Amino acid sequence: GENVEQHPSTLSVQEGDSAVIKCTYSDSASNYFPWYKQELGKRPQLIIDIRSNVGEKKDQRIAVTLNKTAKHFSLHITETQPEDSAVYFCAPADQTGANNLFFGTGTRLTVIP
């Protein structure tokens, strides 16, 4: 099955600084790479995703970059704000489902005002 790891597990940044979270995976068949944000006591929500035919995708302050050769993808948040404080999960997937749809262990981001 898939082995999914996120680094770091916790991250604290000053408001306005950038944050980067990395997700490594083992299944070379993975071709869909989403990031979910979960605020305290709330449900996970998709914030950005990328597919294997694209290397980078940006949506305002959020971007995702993919390195399929090295089997990792990263979430980049620029100009962080206190409302970015949450737990972020990666969940690489492929249509066969053989990797059992693992979510990463999560990264707790704290943005200090």
Partner 1 sequence: DAGVIQSPRHEVTEMGQEVTLRCKPISGHDYLFWYRQTMMRGLELLIYFNNNVPIDDSGMPEDRFSAKMPNASFSTLKIQPSEPRDSAVYFCASSQDSLVQPQHFGDGTRLSIL
| Residue with Cβ nearer partner 1 (97 or 113) | 97
Least Cβ distance, residue 55 to partner 1 (angstroms):
17
The answer for residues whose C-beta is within 8 angstroms of residue 111's C-beta and 6 or more apart is 12, 13, 14, 15, 19, 80, 81, 82, 83, 84, 85
Fill in the DSSP letter of residue 102. P
Does residue 53 bind partner 1 (CB under 8 A)? no
Among positions 20, 105, 108, 110, the unique one binding partner 1 when judged by CB under 8 A: 105
Shortest Å, Cβ 44 to partner 1: 5
**Does residue number 46 form part of the binding site for partner 1 (CB under 8 A)?**
yes
